[in-house]
Structure 1
Amino acid sequence: MSENRIYAHSGKHADRSDWQLLSDHHDAVSALANARGVKIGLPLAASLAGALHDFGKNDPAFDQVLQGRDIRVDHSTAGGWLALKQAAPKDQPTAEAIAYTILGHHAGLPDKLNDQNSCMTARIETFNRTTNPIPQNLIAQEPPDFAPISHELFAKCAGPNPAFNLSLATRMVFSCLVDADFRDTESYYAKIDAYDRPRDWPSLPDLLPDLRERFDNHMNRLPDTGDVNPIRRHILHHVRAQASQRPGLFTLSVPTGGGKTLASMGFALDHAMAHGHRRIIYAIPYSSVTEQTAGTFRDLFGDVVLEHHAAIDANERDAGQREKLQLAMEDWAAPIVVTTNVQLFESLFSARPSRARKLHNIAGAVIILDEAQCLPRHLLLPTLRMIESLCTHYGCTVVLCTATQPAFDSRQLKEGGLALDDRELAPQPELLAQQLRRAHIRQGGEMSDQDLIDALAGTEQGFVIVNSRAHALELFKAAEQADIKGLVHLTTRQYPSDRRALIAEIREKLKSNQPCRLIATSLIEAGVDLDFPVGWRAEAGLDSCVQAAGRVNREGRRPLAGSILTVFSASDRPMPAAIKTLADAMRSTARRFDDLLNPAAMRDWFEHVYWQAGPKLLDAADIIGKLRVGRGGTDFAFRTIAEAYRMIDTTMVPVIIPGDAIAQREIDRLEVEAVSSGTLARALQHYTVQIPEKSREALRTNGKGDFAAQHLRGAQFFVLTDASLYRRDSGLWWEGADYIADSIW
């Protein structure tokens, strides 16, 4: 060390004139964390975490790390150990909350106790038993006043779930800390490199007058004639008229075709204006719909809209390396964020710094959960607790927006439901269901693939939706061999840019009365505004079937009597257990209700799916039970919960397809160090296909693809190198990667 000066980061000069002092880094991170904490009511807790987070860099051995020595120094445990050491017994829960964040600011939030050496208890005990390399005068410094910090944290615990609420407060402090740490480190190196990353976004409150004017102009240009448009306009006006209601939980129950996407955005704009919300987050179950909705909002509002889903994610293991500093995950500072449920909720339950970084910017948002019925059943209770805590303690308004309103009300979902009484935004949902009815659902019994092909051949325009990508591809290939005209295949095997183009082509065929026979997975059921005369849907949950029926006679231009969705049982296609449970419940409902589009039928179905399931099925991994507070302090299993909270069970990873000149240009730019990985990820997410992790490894092993620019980007951008494995009409074939590609088509 130079003149006993202690450094946080190394620079370029041998005389250390451009190295960052640890004291400067601590002061900067503490101030930045405090500023973020002010907005969520946790400034003192965030500030203390920032002041102690790199305390372990006082270890003289860390200076050797800065000089390039290949040694490991744990600099993240010492600050947590110090916080616990300095706290009185009554302040232990508060000190533990701070310690979780400090211990996790690189490796991720730890469990309090498990059988791994990475848990907080083991790390603190190990640190305490070793010879302490940190100067004693630093350890003996005046302890912080924990009382006001405890007051902050425990103010966030009010309500029936105090342990859950304290765990979320800890996550929020963690978010403030890691975002502040990333920002100061990034700023330091940007100064050395004379490069300033364009990170600043305009604030939503400053933009709202212009955004609302744009929205109003757009809505005024839409047609208001016919049967449907006046109803849509009435819904919009009724919903927006309630924007002054107190923030919190709302439902918006509007049947398919009623304009709920624009109505919910109109409410969000007006509600944010009335109550000072900091951003609007629009969360959608499917990435395909995310892309479409983001495009709609960008056309409306311009470049203030951030689209973010999990098509490509940052590589956490590279986060601490100098060349990876520009890979910092989106912090969601944009005024309007369009994302997926997976990205939103898995971030809220994540232990990883890069995903948790955005949490403090979720606070104070209007969050629209489109197609709320798609929230996964096995995670329902912890998800509802998160929604409730965000509204109660972090200034959020959450709108549960759907055509098939699920039974999340505490009056129905007795254990763990939400207080939704008198919080419906739509005018007379039961009447709307009658006014906007455009189709019938009928039972078709068992149908083979040949039966489905014959059914498609018997109509000029129609669709078939099945439950898996594999079935959709096989059915499409069989229909091709049968020489079915106007055949289109739509699946997540195709990359988003191709899917958007195919959807545009489908719309044009439907509009011009050309033959159009679509074979698809469920991706078209939510938010994809297609209008077919008839359709067929493989058995699934009633909510999915109702959504599929919304693609039949969507605009009401055809007679109701002939606009039919046929629900069928796929021969020789065993359903996954989760879908079978939902389909069995639908069959039970169908025995009691002739009309499955009747709202009473939907309530009956949800009674079987949710009300009678009980806590063991609605919190299958006992996530809520893994968050405890007692006399001995906290017992939060952050890392275990992060591993258990998976909205999609199978680990899916991205493969980039060099499908056109734009994609190839962005792939080539992976070799350009000055271009940030975040910028490239946003561009390339439009050319990615998500596949099982093992299948991607098989592609790599068999020479069909590999990680590009690994010397700069690490194992982040996997690019397909065998172009024959991808076709626009049927997407990526990854099964049997060791076969000769030409043989699969």
Structure 2
Amino acid sequence: MKRFAHSVDGQPEETWEPLSHHLAAVGKSAASFADLFGASPIALAMGLLHDIGKQSEPYQHYIRRPRNAGGPKGPDHSTAGAKEAVTAYGKYLGTLMAFGIAGHHGGLMDGSGHEGSTLPTRLVKTIEHYQGWADHVTGLPAMEAMKPAIMGLKPNAVDRAFTTTFLTRMLFSCLVDADFLETEAFYAQSLGENRPMRGGILTPQHRALVQAYMARHRRDDTPVNRLRSDILDHANGKAALPPGLFTLTVPTGGGKTLTSLSFAMEHAAAHDLRRIIYVIPFTSIIEQTAQIFREHVELGDAVLEHHASFDWDQRRPVSGADEEEEGAQGLAKLRRDAENWDAPIVVTTAVQFFESLFAARTSQARKLHNLAKSVIILDEAQSMPVHLLRPCMAAIDELARNYGATVILCTATQPALRVQDEALPQTDAMKKAGQWEGLDIPEDRELAPNPQALYDQLKRVDVEWRREPVSDADIAARFAKQPQMLCIVNSRAHARDLFDAIRGQEGAVHLTTLMCAKHRRDVLEKLRGDLAMGKPVRLIATSLIEAGVDISFPEVWRAAAGLSSIAQAAWIETPMS
């Protein structure tokens, strides 16, 4: 019986994909992904072994069954490759590979434990006989070819054990994405179609667009505009520094969003980095940032906006050259790019980013390998959750240390995450050795010129702390006297109650995360127009408006919160002229 990896329902076997063809194609594709971080031999072996369980007769009978025939799901075909990986490459390297091979459909498993499936239980599982698998595998690399990928890894600065764990995830990502892409390509070709188009990487044209935009909008007519130009020039002047960790500490109003994009583009060009990943904690600012990049900077379809609130129908391709939305510029391509972040510029949430770094599911993890040799901008870096800070820091360090990525911690209120800050807790061993935990980011890796001085130069508001409690009735009374005012509260329930108190006042409106993305965008757009024309705007909002939303009020009230929230709220206030 001839062995196939994939069948085509209703078509003769001559059109099906031979097992040897699929194994070779996935191995080659996975190896090309892993080549960016020097692990292509390991990824090649994983690709060649991942589906050898399809050699079994029960599996071959299964794929010959018509799809509408019903019956049980197909036999386990992923455990076989995991077993052979351990046999061929030993306990350490073979197990590392086995995690990805055994999980390439169901997801990564735990290495131990009593709940759910674990890798050790899979490796001793009784499965269908798959003798003869070697007849379908050509070019399985020797262990000696794999050793440099392991020996060349530098220990993680936060957790030394994290290095091997992260390599396992990166290889898993290479394998599952290669399997998805090659399977997708086979079924497209079986229908007489070309391999589906994907997004691609940065090009000189993208850099030219950013340079042209920055040149068009450069202004030196006011002290603030001259300061913004100085910040931009200073950051771009450091683009030649080696990839790694950077900070960009610029108070709100200093132009850090576009400065970080400009530096990222110049830095990528200097070091042949492949894409820019812009990570933002809140969807309210993601929509705004992606719109600026896409429409104002004119990067168009090079920008992939990926978050839970993204409206695919609203964000149709800007080229207008694809009526059926299925070609190179179409929505179908944008959806495919979102699956694995195969795009020159990705704007995404911190949740999407960090969940992908630690995901077990194939659909989330497949994008991970595309972070290698990328520029990753972590906007509002102070918003990383404290209870997850250590694993987040370990992942950031690992990407920069072993995967050729540059990571920029970009914020107006820089958290003390550096070793040099001597602020994070010390273990007993660290205390004895006089060491501190954190990311090693020397002073010369700060992209802004003299951040402390920038705070003085960009100061434009006064913050007044009311020691006595301020009631909702007091706020409503203040709204009645001030036609343009914003009040930020800490919960949606409080926002609703306070809005009810001012509902009858002219220009009263509220803004919360319960609003859908389009509604929120429409409300903000109207508010900006009304403010510019001097109309009454009495806005009640939750903290979503603090995350860099482009809007200003002459007076802002903020319910008691942390200093970072108060600082962010202060920059929404513009003194009346």
Give your verdict on TM over 0.5. Answer: yes
Distance in 2 separating the partners of 1:141 and 1:230: 63
- Residues 640-694 of structure 1 deviation map (CA, whole Å, 9 limit, x = unaligned): xxxxxxxxxxxxxxxxxxxxxxxxxxxxxxxxxxxxxxxxxxxxxxxxxxxxxxx
- RMSD (Å) for aligned C-alpha atoms: 2.4
Alignment of 1:569-588 (within 5 A): none
**What is the aligned partner in structure 2 of residue 447 from structure 1?**
470
After superposition, the C-alpha distances for 1:116-172 in whole angstroms (9 at most, x for unaligned) are 341111111223xx5x52126749999852232233134224344332011111111
- Asked whether the equivalents of residues 36 and 360 of structure 1 are also in contact (C-alpha less than 8 Å), the reply is yes
Match 1:346 to one of 355, 359, 362: 355
Query: Could you tell me whether the CA contact under 8 Å between 1:215 and 1:266 is conserved in 2?
Result: no
User: Contact 2:176 / 2:362 at 8 angstroms: preserved in 1?
Assistant: yes
User: Is 1:438 matched up with 2:438?
Assistant: no
Question: Cα offset for 1:359?
Answer: 1.1
Rounded Cα–Cα distance in structure 2 between residues aligned with 1:93 and 1:86 = 11
Moved more, 96-105 or 142-151: 142-151
- Structure 2 residue identity aligned to 1:454: A
Give the C-alpha shift of residue 183 in structure 1.
Answer: 0.6
Q: CA deviation at 1:181?
A: 0.3
The corresponding residue for 1:542 is 563
CA distance in 2, matches of 1:197, 1:507: 45
1:456 to 479, 483, 490: 479
- Asked if 1:334 corresponds to 2:343, the answer is yes
Question: What residue identity is the alignment partner of 1:402?
Answer: T
1:487 to 486, 500, 508: 508
Whether contact under 8 Å (1:156, 1:169) holds in the other structure is: no
Equivalents in 2 of 1:365, 1:265: separation in Å?
A: 13
> Hey, what's the Cα distance between the residues in 1 that align with 2:283 and 2:207?
30
Return the letter of the residue paired with 1:374. S
- The answer as to 2:18 corresponding to 1:21 is yes
Shift of 1:218: 3.3
Contact kept, 8 Å, 1:461 with 1:510, in 2: the verdict is: yes
Residue of structure 2 in register with 1:85 after alignment? 87
Q: CA deviation at 1:504?
A: 1.4
User: 249, 259, 283: which is aligned to 2:255?
Assistant: 259
Contact 2:207 2:266 in 1 (8 A): no
- Rate the CA distance shift 1:35–1:436 in 2: closer, same or farther, 3 A: same
Who is 1:635 aligned against? none
Matched with 1:168 is 166
Q: 1:54 aligns with which of 42, 51, 54?
A: 51
Deviation per CA, 1:62-95: give whole Å up to 9, x if none.
12321145223111111101111233xxx42111
Matched, 1:371 2:380: yes
**1:546-582 CA deviation, whole Å, 9 max, x = no partner?**
00111011xxx537xxxxxxxxxxxxxxxxxxxxxxx
1:152-203 deviation per Cα after TM superposition (whole angstroms, max 9, x unaligned):
1342243443320111111111111111100110011111223346423343
Contact 1:236 1:263 in 2 (8 A): yes
The alignment's TM-score, normalised by the length of structure 1, stands at: 0.68
User: Structure 1 198/11 Cα, relative in aligned 2: closer, same or farther at 3 Å?
Assistant: closer
Distance in 2 (CA, whole Å) between partners of 1:217 and 1:195 is: 43
Identity %: 43
* Alpha-carbon shift at residue 520 of structure 1 (Å): 0.6
Range with greater deviation from structure 2 (112-121 or 180-189) = 112-121
Aligned residue number for residue 364 of structure 2: 355
Question: Cα offset for 1:450?
Answer: 2.1
Q: Which residue of 2 aligns with 1:103?
A: 102
Q: Is the 8 A contact 1:205 1:272 kept in 2?
A: no
My pick for the range that moved more, 114-123 or 97-106, is 114-123
TM-score (norm 2): 0.88
After the TM superposition, which residues 13-162 of structure 1 pair with which residues of structure 2 at under 5 Å, given as runs?
Answer: 13-66=10-63, 67=65, 68=67, 70-72=71-73, 73-87=75-89, 91-127=90-126, 132-135=128-131, 138=134, 145-160=142-157, 161-162=159-160
Equivalent residue, structure 2, for 1:210: 208
Cα deviation, residue 272, structure 1: 1.0
CA shift at 1:470, angstroms?
2.5
Give the match for residue 269 of structure 1: 265
Contact 2:55 2:130 in 1 (8 A): yes
Q: Say whether 1:385 aligns with 2:394.
A: yes
Rounded to whole Å, the distance in 1 between the matches of 2:221 and 2:496 is 40
Once the two structures are superposed, the pairs formed by residues 681-720 of structure 1 within 5 Å of their partners are none
Letter of the 2:409 counterpart: L
CA contact (8 A) 2:185 2:196 kept: no
- Identify the residue that residue 397 of structure 1 maps to in structure 2: 406
Q: Does the 8 Å contact 1:83/1:98 carry over to 2?
A: yes
Moved more, 250-259 or 70-79: 70-79
**Structure 1 residues 238-295: Cα deviation after superposition (integer angstroms, max 9, x where no partner):** 1111111121111111111111111111111111111111111111010111111000
C-alpha distance in 2 between matches for 1:524 and 1:30: 47
Does 2:528 align with 1:507? yes
Q: Cα 1:144–1:215, aligned 2, differ >3 Å: closer, same or farther?
A: same
Equivalent pair of 2:7/2:17 in contact (CA under 8 Å): yes
After TM superposition, what 4+ stretches of structure 1 lie above 4 angstroms from structure 2?
Answer: 136-144, 324-329
Deviation at 1:425, TM superposition (A): 1.0
Aligned residue number for residue 184 of structure 1: 182
Deviations 1:8-46 (A, max 9, x none): 111134531211111111011001111111122110111
CA contact (8 A) 1:208 1:273 kept: no
Deviation track 1:420-464 (CA, whole Å, cap 9, x = no partner) reads 221211111111101111112222242232222222222111111
Partner Cα separation in structure 2 for residue 212 and residue 437 of structure 1: 28
